[in-house]
Amino acid sequence: MKDFATHERFASGLSDEAANASVEVLNKNLPLVIDLELSVKQAHWTLRGTNYIGVHELLDTTAGNLREVLDTIAERTVILGGVPNGVSQHVASATSLPEYPVKIASVQEHVRELTDRYKIVAASLREAITVAGDAGDEDTADLFTEASRIIDKDTWFIGSNLETN
């Protein structure tokens, strides 16, 4: 039984099973990306220390990238006849990301925490590529592929700020 609401589907040529599988995996990843975007903004607001301005500005860019990914996921869900669930109560209960440590301040601590979370989201997106593709929805698989590329690139940009010994 589906655990999501459905509406008229606007994508033609997909079986109900393919559309339902894609809506399910889209709605599984939506809370993760929302949570990651909120974590990025938390870091953006509170980080301090060496390379502050560079990382601060980078996090604005990466938060914008995440918002684009969010919109794409949510819009694809609607196209497939589903309803995206991005309300805060659902996001809090559905995310698999660890709670962001709000009391940290150093650039290095924030960069480490964000890099770890980006890697979790990247792994989930890669799994979603397979789920959507196996269901026969190559368009949704392609959406997740593009989202994965964005997340990987931003993981690299953020993680490159880690000091090495």
Q: Which residues of 44-83 are buried (b: 16+ CB within 10 A; e: fewer)?
A: beebeeeeeeebbebbeebbebbeebbebbbebbbbbbbe
The neighbour count for residue 155, using CB atoms within 10 Å, is 19
Give me the pLDDT at residue 107, please: 97
Q: Does domain 31-159 have CATH number 1.20.1070.10?
A: no
Q: Looking only at Cα atoms, what is the longest distance across the chain? A: 56
- Give the separation between CA 35 and CA 41, rounded to whole angstroms: 10
Q: What is the pLDDT of residue 8?
A: 67
Radius of gyration of the chain, Cα coordinates, nearest whole angstrom = 17
Q: How confident is the model at residue 140, as a pLDDT?
A: 98
Compute mean pLDDT per 10 residues along the chain, 165 residues long, and list them.
54 86 97 98 96 96 98 96 95 97 96 98 98 97 98 98 84
Q: Where are the domains of the chain?
A: 31-159
Residue 3's pLDDT is what? 46
DSSP conformation class of 90: H
